[in-house]
Structure formats: C-alpha cells, structure tokens
Amino acid sequence: MKILVLLKQTFDTEEEIVLVNGQLNENGVKFVINPYDEYALEEAIAIKEKFGGEVTAVTVGPARAEAALRTALAVGVDKAIIVDDESLFGDEYTISKVLASVAKLDTYDLILGGHMAVDDGAAQVGPRLAEELAIPHISTITNLEIVDGKVKVEKDVEGDTEVIEVAMPVLVTAQQGLNEPRYPTLPGIMKAKKKTIERLTAADLNVNVGEILSKTEVLEQYLPPKKVAGKVLAGELNQQTSELVELLRNEAKVV
C-alpha cells in the first residue's frame, strides 16, 4: 500500500505572536509539525507497520520546513518531499493544486492530513486536494481500520460519530483522538539525518505558476485588542457570587 502524508510546519502553540511592520515575526520562533498532521503521520506509520507498504511525507514551504520532514523520517516515513519554491506558495487554492501535482507523480492508495492547520485554521487543503485528484475524502476522522481492502473510519461530526466505509484511493483528515503520536527515537533521528529529502520546484512539477495564482488576498493583519485586567471580586464568597450575578446582569448584560 502506498500512503501519502501531508505535513505543514506551524508555530509552536506557546509562541507569542509579534508583528513587525504588519508582518508576522518568525525570528526565534519554535516551529513544530502541525498537531493535527502528527495524528495523520502516526496513523500512516501504524498502517504501514500492520499491512506493509511505503509512506511518503510531503510539505510545501521554505527550507525551515525540512525539520518537519526530518522528524517524519525519524518516526518511520520512507520518503520525504519538500516543495520549496516561493513561486508556488499561495492560498489554499494554490497549495492544493501544488500538492495535487506532487500526488500525481505516483499512485497513492491513501492520503492522510490533519483536518486543519492550527496557524491559519482554514481547514481547506484536504477536501480541495481530494477534489483535484477526483477521489473521495472523509474529514475529521477519529478511527481508521482497513477491512478487506476497504477503509472504515469513524468521523467526528460536532460530537456525534458517523461510521463510514469507502474504497481506496481515498483522502482522510485527522481529528484529535485518532491516535497517540509516537516520539522519534535517538536511532530513528540518527538514521533520518542520512536520508535524502527530495526537493521539487515548479519546473519539476511541470506547473504553470500563472495558472494557479492565489484567488484570495490578505489585506491586513492585526493583533486583537489587549485584554484589560478584569475585576477580581473580594469579600465573603456569598457576597462575591451575588456581586458577580449583579455584574453579569447590569454591567456585562450577558444574562
């Protein structure tokens, strides 16, 4: 079985957001694999361990994103591809076209990705890529089994669960709860250092950059207003609770 995992490198959740001249500051920021993509990665490795096959990880991003691929190689991915070509960076429309051209270089039975990236939070690339490849997709899965060559998943629908069966090839996006991602081991990390990461550009992918330009544009980025320090209530607890109810009714007017 051939499996493709879509990875995005994102800011670590704990990182503070700083704007410099309206642009996001990346200096000194710690980057991680998008947490939802980690579930996808773990699932791909687990499937390979059970059924055999080959796992390829792909990312579209600048050179720093190679670190995400090294981690993927360290936990058991066989091949890694980075599309590091600024002319191919863009919005979800562009990125999914680029990923489709990468996916078409081979034949994959299963494509896994996170259901969204925690930085941009758009949750578009998975379904878009499936459409570009004319294969079905199932989003926000919390369980995956392969039974008689078919994929059987549990899909989270705002708390309810749907059990869905589909033939391969299929693309699925991971929701929290799918699995518990493993950590890379030291031997794994050492081995990963020696593996080659394939680098692709627009020319390699035979993509006409002009035809896949972003359809959307960011006009402005700004920080939310700083939260002013709230009121810490004082006095006996019963006084505090009656004051709180009074404040919620008459000051905040939310009840």
Partner 1 sequence: MSKNVLVVVERRDGILRNVSFEVLTAAQQMTNGGEVIAVVFGQGNQDEAQQLAQHGADKVYIATNEELNAYSTDAFSQALTEVVQTVKPDVILVGHTAMGRDLAPRVAARLGLGLISDCTGVEVNGEEIVFIRPVYAGKLFQKKKVKEGIIFASIRPNNIVKGEPNAQRTANVIETQVTITDIRTIIKDVVKKTTGKLDLTEAKIIVSGGRGVKSAEGFNQLYELAEVLGAAVGASRAACDAGYCDYAMQVGQTGKVVTPDLYIACGISGAVQHLAGMSNSKIIVAINKDPEAPIFRVADYSIVGDLFEVVPLLIEEFKKVPV
Nearer to partner 1, 17 or 203 (CB): 17
- Distance between CA 93 and CA 147 in Å, rounded? 33
For residue 105, the minimal CB distance to partner 1 (Å) is 19
Please, what is the minimum distance in Å from the beta carbon of residue 146 to partner 1? 15
Q: Output Rg (C-alpha) for the chain, integer angstroms.
A: 22
Chain Cα centroid distance, residue 93: 16
DSSP state of 98: H
Residue with tokens 């705002």: 158
For residue 49, give the amino acid letter: E
Of 52 and 121, CB closest to partner 1: 121
Our CB check for partner 1 shows the closer of 63 and 229 to be 229
Q: Which is nearer to partner 1, 130 or 197 (CB)?
A: 130
End-to-end Cα distance, the chain: 56
- Closer to partner 1 by CB, 63 or 232: give it: 232
- For the bound state, the minimum distance from the C-beta of residue 100 to partner 1, rounded and expressed in Å, comes to 9
Q: How far is the CB of 45 from partner 1 (least distance, A)?
A: 20
Considering the complex, state which of residue 73 and residue 175 has its C-beta at the smaller distance from partner 1: 175
> CB 197 → partner 1: shortest distance, Å?
27
Is the omega angle on the peptide bond into residue 35 within 30 degrees of 0, that is, cis?
no
* Tokens describing residue 128: 């878009």
User: Among 175, 155, 156, 174, which residue's Cα sits nearest to residue 165?
Assistant: 155
Instruction: Give the HSE-up count for residue 183: Cα atoms under 13 Å, Cβ half-sphere.
Output: 2
Using CA atoms, how far apart are residues 83 and 161, in angstroms rounded to an integer? 35
| Minimum distance of partner 1 from residue 132's CB (angstroms) | 6
Distance (Å, whole) CA 100 – CA 102: 5
